[in-house]
Amino acid sequence: MISLKYFFGIDGGGTKTAICATSSDAAKIVSEITSNAAWRERGIDAVIWNIKDVIYSLLPCEDAQIGGIAMGLPCFGESTDGDRELTKAAHTAFPGIPLYLTNDVEVGWAGALGLSPGINVVAGTGAIAYGKDEQGKTARCGGWSEFFGDEGSCFWMGRKVMKLFSKQSDGRMAKDRLYDIVRKEFSLQSDFDFIDLMYNKYIGHRDTVASLQLLAKKAALEGSPSAKSLYVVAADELLLCVNAIRNRLQFNEQPFKVSCTGGLFKCGNLILDSFNDGVEEIGGVLHTAKFEPLYGALLLAFEHFNNPKIPILVAKLETV
pLDDT of residue 2: 53
Mean of the per-residue pLDDT values for the chain? 92
Rounded-to-integer distance, Cα 129 and Cα 258, Å = 10
- Domain span(s) for CATH 3.30.420.40 in the chain: 5-114+292-317, 115-289
Percent of the chain with pLDDT over 70: 99
Other residues' Cβ atoms within 10 Å of the Cβ of residue 62: 6
Q: Which pLDDT belongs to residue 215? A: 97
Average the pLDDT over 209-219 and give the result. Answer: 95
What b/e sequence results for 133-159 when a residue is b if at least 16 CB atoms lie within 10 Å of its CB, and e otherwise? beeeeebbbbbeebeebbbbbbbbbbb
The pLDDT of residue 35? 84
Q: What is the pLDDT of residues 95-121, one digit of tens each?
A: 999 999 998 889 999 999 999 999 999
Kindly report which listed range (45-54, 58-67, 270-279, 281-290) carries the lowest average pLDDT score.
Answer: 58-67
CB-CB neighbours of 92 under 10 Å: 12
Specify the higher pLDDT residue, 304 or 43. 304
Task: Give the mean pLDDT of 197-209.
Answer: 89
- Return the CATH class of domain 115-289: alpha beta
Question: Does the domain at residues 5-114+292-317 carry the CATH identifier 3.30.70.1070?
Answer: no
List the one residue out of 93, 119, 121 whose CA is nearest residue 10: 93
- Res 64: pLDDT: 84
pLDDT in tens, 132-155: 999 999 999 998 877 787 899 999
Longest dimension (CA), the chain: 78
pLDDT for position 3: 65
What pLDDT does 1 receive? 43
Residue 136's region, left for phi above 0, alpha for psi from -120 to 50, else beta, is: left
Query: pLDDT tens-digit profile of 237-258?
Result: 999 999 999 999 999 989 999 9
